Amino acid sequence: MLDPVAFARELGLPGLFDVHTHFLPPQVMAKVREQFDTAGPLIGRPWPLEYRGPDEELVDTLRSFGVRRFSALSYAHRPDMAEWLNDWAFGFADRVPAALRCATFYPEPGAGAYVAARITAGAQVFKLHVQVGGFDVRDSLLDQAWGVLEDAGTPVVLHAGSGPVGTAYTGPEPVAGLLAEHPRLALVIAHAGAPEYAEFLALAEKYERVMLDTTMAFTPFFDGLGAPYPRVLLSRLGALKDKVLLGSDFPNIPYPYATQLEGLANLELGDDWLRAVCWENGSSLFR
Protein backbone atom coordinates (compact mmCIF):
# COMPACT_ATOMS: atom_id res chain seq x y z
CA MET A 1 0.00 0.00 0.00
CA LEU A 2 1.13 3.52 -0.83
CA ASP A 3 2.77 5.52 1.99
CA PRO A 4 1.04 8.95 2.12
CA VAL A 5 4.10 10.69 3.57
CA ALA A 6 6.40 9.29 0.89
CA PHE A 7 3.78 10.08 -1.77
CA ALA A 8 3.80 13.78 -0.85
CA ARG A 9 7.57 13.89 -0.46
CA GLU A 10 8.19 12.33 -3.87
CA LEU A 11 5.95 14.98 -5.41
CA GLY A 12 8.03 17.67 -3.72
CA LEU A 13 5.14 18.80 -1.54
CA PRO A 14 5.34 19.95 2.09
CA GLY A 15 2.42 17.64 2.86
CA LEU A 16 -1.21 17.10 1.91
CA PHE A 17 -4.10 19.58 2.02
CA ASP A 18 -7.37 17.68 2.57
CA VAL A 19 -10.41 19.96 2.20
CA HIS A 20 -13.02 17.32 3.05
CA THR A 21 -12.62 15.77 6.50
CA HIS A 22 -15.10 15.61 9.35
CA PHE A 23 -14.74 16.49 13.01
CA LEU A 24 -18.01 16.85 14.88
CA PRO A 25 -19.37 17.29 18.40
CA PRO A 26 -19.12 13.87 20.08
CA GLN A 27 -22.86 13.27 20.26
CA VAL A 28 -23.24 14.13 16.57
CA MET A 29 -20.32 11.93 15.54
CA ALA A 30 -21.88 9.05 17.49
CA LYS A 31 -25.11 9.44 15.50
CA VAL A 32 -23.17 9.62 12.23
CA ARG A 33 -21.24 6.45 13.07
CA GLU A 34 -24.50 4.71 13.95
CA GLN A 35 -25.82 5.48 10.46
CA PHE A 36 -22.74 3.96 8.86
CA ASP A 37 -22.68 0.96 11.20
CA THR A 38 -26.32 0.12 10.50
CA ALA A 39 -26.29 0.98 6.76
CA GLY A 40 -28.94 3.62 7.43
CA PRO A 41 -31.32 4.90 4.75
CA LEU A 42 -28.95 7.61 3.53
CA ILE A 43 -26.05 5.14 3.39
CA GLY A 44 -27.72 2.24 1.64
CA ARG A 45 -25.07 -0.45 2.06
CA PRO A 46 -22.54 -1.80 4.59
CA TRP A 47 -19.91 0.84 5.33
CA PRO A 48 -17.33 -0.50 7.80
CA LEU A 49 -15.50 2.53 9.17
CA GLU A 50 -11.73 2.31 9.09
CA TYR A 51 -11.06 5.04 11.66
CA ARG A 52 -12.64 5.73 15.04
CA GLY A 53 -11.56 7.37 18.25
CA PRO A 54 -11.55 10.77 19.94
CA ASP A 55 -10.62 13.92 18.07
CA GLU A 56 -7.06 14.07 19.39
CA GLU A 57 -6.34 10.56 18.13
CA LEU A 58 -7.87 11.28 14.72
CA VAL A 59 -5.89 14.51 14.35
CA ASP A 60 -2.71 12.60 15.17
CA THR A 61 -3.65 9.98 12.57
CA LEU A 62 -4.04 12.65 9.88
CA ARG A 63 -0.69 14.15 10.84
CA SER A 64 0.92 10.72 10.58
CA PHE A 65 -0.26 10.64 6.96
CA GLY A 66 1.44 13.96 6.25
CA VAL A 67 -1.83 15.92 6.15
CA ARG A 68 -0.79 19.47 7.04
CA ARG A 69 -4.14 21.25 6.58
CA PHE A 70 -7.66 19.84 6.80
CA SER A 71 -11.27 20.75 7.53
CA ALA A 72 -13.82 19.99 10.23
CA LEU A 73 -16.94 19.94 8.10
CA SER A 74 -20.29 19.76 9.87
CA TYR A 75 -23.74 20.14 8.38
CA ALA A 76 -27.12 20.98 9.85
CA HIS A 77 -30.17 18.81 9.13
CA ARG A 78 -32.80 20.80 11.00
CA PRO A 79 -33.49 24.42 12.03
CA ASP A 80 -31.71 25.97 15.02
CA MET A 81 -28.78 23.55 14.71
CA ALA A 82 -26.29 25.34 12.47
CA GLU A 83 -25.05 27.95 14.91
CA TRP A 84 -24.51 25.37 17.64
CA LEU A 85 -22.38 23.37 15.20
CA ASN A 86 -20.57 26.54 14.17
CA ASP A 87 -19.68 27.37 17.76
CA TRP A 88 -18.22 23.90 18.17
CA ALA A 89 -16.30 24.05 14.87
CA PHE A 90 -14.79 27.45 15.71
CA GLY A 91 -13.69 26.04 19.06
CA PHE A 92 -12.13 23.06 17.32
CA ALA A 93 -10.16 25.36 15.01
CA ASP A 94 -8.96 27.30 18.06
CA ARG A 95 -7.65 24.04 19.57
CA VAL A 96 -6.23 22.64 16.32
CA PRO A 97 -4.37 25.29 14.29
CA ALA A 98 -4.04 23.00 11.26
CA ALA A 99 -7.82 22.93 10.88
CA LEU A 100 -9.70 25.35 8.67
CA ARG A 101 -12.30 27.48 10.43
CA CYS A 102 -15.49 25.82 9.21
CA ALA A 103 -19.19 26.62 9.39
CA THR A 104 -22.54 25.49 8.04
CA PHE A 105 -26.01 26.94 7.48
CA TYR A 106 -29.56 25.77 6.90
CA PRO A 107 -32.67 27.20 5.17
CA GLU A 108 -34.16 29.06 8.11
CA PRO A 109 -34.94 32.66 9.04
CA GLY A 110 -31.75 34.54 9.85
CA ALA A 111 -29.44 32.28 7.85
CA GLY A 112 -28.07 35.19 5.84
CA ALA A 113 -27.31 37.17 8.97
CA TYR A 114 -25.42 34.43 10.77
CA VAL A 115 -23.52 33.45 7.63
CA ALA A 116 -22.39 37.08 7.29
CA ALA A 117 -21.41 37.17 10.97
CA ARG A 118 -19.41 33.94 10.66
CA ILE A 119 -17.54 35.26 7.64
CA THR A 120 -16.69 38.42 9.59
CA ALA A 121 -15.51 36.21 12.46
CA GLY A 122 -13.13 34.35 10.15
CA ALA A 123 -15.01 31.40 8.65
CA GLN A 124 -12.90 30.02 5.81
CA VAL A 125 -15.27 27.41 4.38
CA PHE A 126 -18.89 26.34 4.77
CA LYS A 127 -20.44 22.90 4.27
CA LEU A 128 -23.91 21.99 3.01
CA HIS A 129 -25.25 18.44 2.61
CA VAL A 130 -28.55 18.57 0.76
CA GLN A 131 -29.05 14.80 0.90
CA VAL A 132 -28.88 14.67 4.70
CA GLY A 133 -30.40 18.12 5.20
CA GLY A 134 -33.37 17.40 2.95
CA PHE A 135 -33.63 20.79 1.24
CA ASP A 136 -33.33 22.45 -2.15
CA VAL A 137 -30.35 24.79 -2.58
CA ARG A 138 -32.77 27.20 -4.30
CA ASP A 139 -34.93 27.53 -1.16
CA SER A 140 -35.82 31.21 -0.77
CA LEU A 141 -34.69 31.09 2.86
CA LEU A 142 -31.14 30.71 1.53
CA ASP A 143 -31.22 33.65 -0.88
CA GLN A 144 -29.53 36.12 1.44
CA ALA A 145 -26.90 33.60 2.53
CA TRP A 146 -25.96 32.81 -1.06
CA GLY A 147 -25.69 36.51 -1.84
CA VAL A 148 -23.38 37.10 1.11
CA LEU A 149 -21.21 34.11 0.17
CA GLU A 150 -21.03 35.17 -3.46
CA ASP A 151 -19.89 38.67 -2.51
CA ALA A 152 -17.33 37.37 0.00
CA GLY A 153 -16.00 34.58 -2.25
CA THR A 154 -16.00 32.19 0.71
CA PRO A 155 -16.04 28.57 -0.52
CA VAL A 156 -18.89 26.17 0.21
CA VAL A 157 -18.24 22.43 0.10
CA LEU A 158 -21.53 21.20 -1.32
CA HIS A 159 -22.70 17.58 -1.29
CA ALA A 160 -25.33 17.71 -4.01
CA GLY A 161 -24.63 14.60 -6.09
CA SER A 162 -27.04 11.69 -5.81
CA GLY A 163 -24.52 9.31 -4.23
CA PRO A 164 -24.68 7.17 -2.25
CA VAL A 165 -28.49 7.48 -2.15
CA GLY A 166 -30.35 10.04 -4.24
CA THR A 167 -33.24 12.13 -2.97
CA ALA A 168 -35.62 14.69 -4.44
CA TYR A 169 -33.07 17.39 -3.57
CA THR A 170 -29.89 15.91 -5.06
CA GLY A 171 -28.49 16.08 -8.57
CA PRO A 172 -27.07 18.77 -10.81
CA GLU A 173 -30.29 20.54 -11.79
CA PRO A 174 -30.82 22.48 -8.53
CA VAL A 175 -27.15 23.49 -8.45
CA ALA A 176 -27.28 24.66 -12.06
CA GLY A 177 -30.30 26.77 -11.16
CA LEU A 178 -28.50 28.22 -8.15
CA LEU A 179 -25.47 29.14 -10.24
CA ALA A 180 -27.65 30.79 -12.87
CA GLU A 181 -28.77 33.16 -10.11
CA HIS A 182 -25.39 33.41 -8.35
CA PRO A 183 -22.71 32.76 -11.00
CA ARG A 184 -19.81 33.97 -8.82
CA LEU A 185 -20.42 31.48 -6.00
CA ALA A 186 -17.32 29.58 -4.90
CA LEU A 187 -18.67 26.04 -4.73
CA VAL A 188 -16.56 22.93 -4.12
CA ILE A 189 -18.62 20.03 -5.42
CA ALA A 190 -18.09 17.13 -3.01
CA HIS A 191 -17.29 13.63 -4.30
CA ALA A 192 -16.69 15.17 -7.76
CA GLY A 193 -20.49 15.17 -8.02
CA ALA A 194 -20.88 11.38 -7.91
CA PRO A 195 -22.59 9.79 -9.68
CA GLU A 196 -23.45 12.77 -11.94
CA TYR A 197 -19.78 13.31 -12.74
CA ALA A 198 -20.22 14.69 -16.25
CA GLU A 199 -22.85 17.25 -15.30
CA PHE A 200 -20.92 18.63 -12.34
CA LEU A 201 -17.66 18.63 -14.31
CA ALA A 202 -19.43 20.78 -16.90
CA LEU A 203 -20.47 23.24 -14.18
CA ALA A 204 -16.86 23.50 -13.02
CA GLU A 205 -15.81 24.18 -16.60
CA LYS A 206 -18.51 26.82 -17.06
CA TYR A 207 -18.29 28.79 -13.81
CA GLU A 208 -15.05 30.45 -12.74
CA ARG A 209 -15.35 29.70 -9.02
CA VAL A 210 -16.83 26.18 -9.15
CA MET A 211 -14.38 23.43 -8.17
CA LEU A 212 -14.52 19.70 -7.49
CA ASP A 213 -13.17 17.65 -4.62
CA THR A 214 -11.99 14.07 -5.02
CA THR A 215 -13.70 12.66 -1.93
CA MET A 216 -14.09 8.87 -2.30
CA ALA A 217 -14.09 9.13 -6.10
CA PHE A 218 -11.63 6.89 -7.97
CA THR A 219 -11.65 4.29 -5.16
CA PRO A 220 -12.65 0.62 -5.53
CA PHE A 221 -15.33 1.12 -2.88
CA PHE A 222 -17.05 3.92 -4.79
CA ASP A 223 -16.68 2.00 -8.03
CA GLY A 224 -18.49 -0.86 -6.27
CA LEU A 225 -21.45 1.45 -5.58
CA GLY A 226 -22.02 1.53 -9.32
CA ALA A 227 -20.43 4.96 -9.64
CA PRO A 228 -17.06 4.51 -11.36
CA TYR A 229 -15.62 7.69 -12.81
CA PRO A 230 -16.12 7.57 -16.61
CA ARG A 231 -12.77 7.18 -18.33
CA VAL A 232 -14.02 9.38 -21.16
CA LEU A 233 -14.01 12.35 -18.75
CA LEU A 234 -10.40 12.00 -17.61
CA SER A 235 -8.86 14.29 -20.21
CA ARG A 236 -11.27 17.06 -19.18
CA LEU A 237 -10.53 16.40 -15.51
CA GLY A 238 -6.83 16.67 -16.28
CA ALA A 239 -7.36 19.98 -18.05
CA LEU A 240 -9.18 21.22 -14.94
CA LYS A 241 -6.18 20.62 -12.68
CA ASP A 242 -6.37 24.05 -11.03
CA LYS A 243 -9.97 23.42 -9.94
CA VAL A 244 -9.71 19.98 -8.31
CA LEU A 245 -9.03 19.61 -4.58
CA LEU A 246 -8.01 16.63 -2.50
CA GLY A 247 -10.84 15.38 -0.29
CA SER A 248 -11.10 12.10 1.58
CA ASP A 249 -14.12 12.03 3.97
CA PHE A 250 -11.77 10.96 6.77
CA PRO A 251 -12.53 9.46 9.25
CA ASN A 252 -15.82 8.16 7.81
CA ILE A 253 -14.22 5.96 5.16
CA PRO A 254 -14.37 2.17 4.74
CA TYR A 255 -10.74 1.75 3.66
CA PRO A 256 -7.27 3.07 4.56
CA TYR A 257 -6.58 6.75 3.85
CA ALA A 258 -3.92 5.81 1.31
CA THR A 259 -6.60 4.27 -0.93
CA GLN A 260 -7.76 7.76 -1.93
CA LEU A 261 -4.24 8.74 -2.95
CA GLU A 262 -3.72 5.50 -4.85
CA GLY A 263 -6.90 6.19 -6.78
CA LEU A 264 -5.61 9.61 -7.81
CA ALA A 265 -2.19 8.28 -8.79
CA ASN A 266 -3.78 5.53 -10.87
CA LEU A 267 -5.52 8.11 -13.05
CA GLU A 268 -2.09 8.79 -14.61
CA LEU A 269 -2.83 12.48 -15.09
CA GLY A 270 0.76 13.42 -14.22
CA ASP A 271 2.74 14.74 -11.30
CA ASP A 272 1.82 18.37 -12.00
CA TRP A 273 -1.86 17.44 -11.68
CA LEU A 274 -1.23 15.55 -8.45
CA ARG A 275 0.76 18.43 -6.99
CA ALA A 276 -2.03 20.86 -7.80
CA VAL A 277 -4.76 18.62 -6.39
CA CYS A 278 -3.00 17.41 -3.26
CA TRP A 279 -1.55 20.72 -2.06
CA GLU A 280 -1.33 23.71 -4.36
CA ASN A 281 -5.03 24.29 -5.06
CA GLY A 282 -6.05 24.05 -1.42
CA SER A 283 -3.15 26.23 -0.35
CA SER A 284 -4.12 28.85 -2.94
CA LEU A 285 -7.85 28.76 -2.13
CA PHE A 286 -7.27 29.10 1.62
CA ARG A 287 -4.08 31.14 1.61
CB 133 within 8 A of CB 116: no
d(CA 148, CA 112): 7
CB 198 within 8 A of CB 230: yes
Domains and CATH numbers, the chain: 4-285 (3.20.20.140)
d(CA 104, CA 152): 15
d(CA 119, CA 104): 11
Contacting residues for 231 by C-beta, under 8 A, at least 6 apart: none
pTM value is 0.97
pLDDT 10s per residue in the chain (287 long)? Answer: 899 999 999 999 999 999 999 999 999 999 999 999 998 887 888 999 999 999 999 999 999 999 999 999 999 999 999 999 999 999 999 999 999 999 999 999 999 999 999 999 999 999 999 999 999 999 999 999 999 999 999 999 999 999 888 999 999 999 999 999 999 999 999 999 999 999 999 999 999 999 999 999 999 999 888 779 999 999 999 999 999 999 999 999 999 999 999 999 999 999 999 999 999 999 999 98
d(CA 165, CA 17): 28
* CA dihedral of 220, 221, 224, 227, whole degrees rounded to 10: -90
d(CA 287, CA 78): 32
d(CA 100, CA 124): 6
Contacting residues for 84 by C-beta, under 8 A, at least 6 apart: none
